[in-house]
Chains A and B, each alone.
Chain A
Amino acid sequence: MSGININPMPTSNAASTFGVDWDGGFQGVAQPDPAARYALRNGILSSSETLPMWGGVAINELLPGLSGGAVPQMGSVIQSASAVGSNTTGFVVFDQAYGGVSTPQSPVPFFSGNMTVAFYRLGSGARVWLPCSANIGLTGGVSAFKSQVSWDPINRQLVPYTAAFAAMATATSATTYNSTTGKFVMTGASVPASIAAGSWVGVAGFTGSAAVLNGAWQVDSVTGTTITLDGPTGQTIAGGDLAVASGQTTLAGGGAVGIQGIDAVSLSKSIAVSYAASTGFGTWNRSGNTLLALL
């Protein structure tokens, strides 16, 4: 179960308190709206969730079981969305969620497993500031309000849209991995047309020490049928685990995250969440990127 790391005696300071103005978005906060506020729901963060939860994270909402586990009165069981497009049903927000725990070293209010989290469902009509990558592609000139975006479940932010594609089975039995750069190479019989450098794809099927390569990754480059992916750095993966059988691993995913539209984008001036997986601490990035999404 996810926990909340605490260092009781850090020395921290209040950086970034001098600015020119305070215009910008605030990750995980819904815009005030007398109608949409009544669509705010509570759920219980899944006891099997391995990471803490905070506002602005895409979630996959599960109905509570009829017996065992959390009681239905606590609402849906909430998990963080794990796929690029397909399994997002809503977004966690900070609104009314004053149970989140904030500490000097990890000031972002965090929710651990079995805690109540507040969220808006897709389709609720709420407008929520969501974290996005700086290259979201909506900065120059006008963009379509209906611009589609995908969800990066590793960095937990909205990223440029990658069209959904059918699962691609790997064709060869060898995968290379560079622990310094994190890049690894997969080769398919034919690469789906929607996969290009910058696309976000899901990888499944690795086992053993190579299981860390399962997940959603950004495509570094595509050459013929060879796809180089930006994977995790610093992993120790046995050669035998990389030498997978043809068809054992698949590339899948893509797809829009399912928001109805984008109201505004605020790059480099928003307050966004920065999560350090190595320490488990969440800090505010006061020059972050957010976009205002109509859910």
Chain B
Amino acid sequence: MPAPATITLSPSFTEPGMIMPSAQASHAFELLGGRGPMIKLGEGDLVVYVNRLDVRTRISSGQTAANQLPGIAITPSKISTATYLNRLRAEWDHHDSASYSRNWNINLQAAYSLGLRQAHVQLERNALLYGINPSNGEGLINTAGAYTVTLPADTNSHSNVTLYDPGQLAQWLIQQVIALKTRTNQLGTPRRITMVGPQRTLGFMEGEIVQVTSFQRVGAGSATIRLEFEKVLAEAGGDVLTWGYDDTLIGKGAGGTDMVILALPDVEPLHGPAGLDTNVFAGLEPGLNFTTAMYQDMPAPREIIAPLTAGATDLVSEKRSTSGWGLRPEAISLLSLAY
């Protein structure tokens, strides 16, 4: 809409700076391998495929040589996800832009341009977490085969985060990371672990101190749940925790609880000592080390600007993106925590 006319007293002073609406800057994209979408799509690509390889072996063993030997079988196959072209537009005429610049100190085209980008990233965040088409298995929380768990009651029978014993909550979170690294064969190696959840849930863990008890426990009396969690992970396994927020996850857990997504987005194949590597096959190139992915055709939306008759302007913004894609479901833990 055009900027309105206003009535002000004179003399007066108007502050040139403007108070802008502030949306939550989501950390959800930290859940992706490579810490963000991969800009690899062509403009018209409808589907993304990733190839995988399977192998099975059998070997013969004896003190002398046999000639009828067992062997190896490998087979490649593809996994896929759909891409979506996201578009929206803005239109204004030169009177609209004049009304904003004259009275309100705003460049209307710049405002529309950023607003269009805001629409894209909001959709992309939803696509990442929940999928453009959730029933098709798109979105990280809809990943078929992802590990799901609900916070069990503590020893005081509390199952809400706000009432939970802080030390036990930190322990439970550490155990979730251990389980995640165990499922993905990453124990013993420092990894980037990403945990994204609502501000109210994770924020509570940043303020709640692990209580002193009659027995010794890490952080008692000094560390918050988050601090103990991060400290133990860092000291024990060298893991670096990316701790992030996204309030759309409120109520997205099992039974309306809050969803906290724990992911190990990058898994490099671990190798044993030279010559005795029981994971030697994984060294075949080209390997892909991401467990989660989102593919896009450009880092920022394309803007197509065109003059219309009678002084108007048309601005179309478009970008192609997949939903969030859990490539290797074992690397995703979906934690349901009642607030």
Query: Which residues does A use to contact B, with CB under 8 Å?
Result: 8-15, 17-18, 21-26, 29, 31-33, 94, 102-104, 107, 127, 129, 263-264, 266, 269-271, 284, 286, 292
- Which residue of A9, A25, A94, A269 has the most chain B CB atoms within 10 A of its CB atom? A9
Taking CB atoms and an 8 Å cut-off, the chain B residues in 65-85 that contact chain A are 68-71, 73, 75, 77-82
B214 within 8 A of A: no
A26–B75 Cα gap in the complex (Å)?
A: 9
Interface string of B188-228 (1 = CB under 8 A from A): 00000000000000000000000000000000000000000
Given the interface contacts A9-B47, A14-B328, does A22 sit within 8 Å of B57 by beta carbon?
A: yes
Contact A284 B54 (CB under 8 A): yes
B46 within 8 A of A: yes
B253 within 8 A of A: no
A-B contact pairs, 30 of them (CB 8 A): A8-B47, A9-B80, A10-B136, A10-B137, A11-B131, A11-B136, A12-B144, A13-B79, A13-B137, A13-B145, A13-B329, A14-B50, A14-B327, A15-B328, A17-B330, A22-B55, A24-B56, A24-B58, A25-B58, A26-B75, A32-B69, A102-B78, A104-B77, A104-B78, A129-B73, A269-B56, A271-B54, A271-B56, A286-B54, A292-B58
B242 within 8 A of A: no
Interface string of B93-109 (1 = CB under 8 A from A): 00000000000000000
Q: Give the chain A neighbours of B183 by CB distance below 8 A.
A: 18
Contact A107 B77 (CB under 8 A): yes
Query: Which residues does B use to contact A, with CB under 8 Å?
Result: 46-47, 49-50, 52, 54-58, 68-71, 73, 75, 77-82, 131, 133, 136-138, 143-145, 183-185, 278, 281, 323, 325-330
**Chain A min CB distance to B288 (Å):** 9
Q: Give the chain B neighbours of A11 by CB distance below 8 A.
A: 80-82, 131, 133, 136-138, 323, 325
Contact B58 A23 (CB under 8 A): yes
Q: Is the interface of B mostly helix, strand, loop or mixed?
A: mixed
Q: Give the chain A neighbours of B70 by CB distance below 8 A.
A: 31, 263-264, 292
A18–B186 Cα gap in the complex (Å)?
A: 10
Contact B144 A15 (CB under 8 A): yes
Contact B54 A23 (CB under 8 A): no
Q: Give the chain B neighbours of A94 by CB distance below 8 A.
A: 75
Q: Give the chain B neighbours of A12 by CB distance below 8 A.
A: 79-81, 137, 144
Given contacts A11-B131, A11-B136, 10 further A-B contacts (CB under 8 A): A9-B80, A10-B80, A10-B136, A11-B323, A13-B328, A14-B328, A17-B52, A18-B185, A23-B58, A102-B78
Choose one: A13, A263, A266; the contact of B144 (CB below 8 Å). A13
A-B contact count (CB 8 A): 107
Q: Give the chain A neighbours of B82 by CB distance below 8 A.
A: 9, 11
A269–B55 Cα gap in the complex (Å)?
A: 11
**Chain A min CB distance to B276 (Å):** 13
A95–B50 Cα gap in the complex (Å)?
A: 24
Contact A26 B184 (CB under 8 A): no
Q: Give the chain A neighbours of B138 by CB distance below 8 A.
A: 11
Contact A15 B330 (CB under 8 A): yes
Q: Give the chain B neighbours of A103 by CB distance below 8 A.
A: 78
**Chain A min CB distance to B70 (Å):** 5
Contact B136 A23 (CB under 8 A): no
* A270 to B, closest residue via Cβ: B56
* A109 to B, closest residue via Cβ: B75
* B139 to A, closest residue via Cβ: A11
A23–B73 Cα gap in the complex (Å)?
A: 10
Q: Give the chain B neighbours of A33 by CB distance below 8 A.
A: 68-69
Given the interface contacts A13-B327, A31-B69, A31-B71, does A104 sit within 8 Å of B46 by beta carbon?
A: no
A271–B52 Cα gap in the complex (Å)?
A: 14
**Chain B min CB distance to A65 (Å):** 35
Q: Give the chain A neighbours of B137 by CB distance below 8 A.
A: 10-13
- Which residue of A9, A17, A25, A284 has the most chain B CB atoms within 10 A of its CB atom? A17
Q: Give the chain B neighbours of A271 by CB distance below 8 A.
A: 54, 56, 73, 75
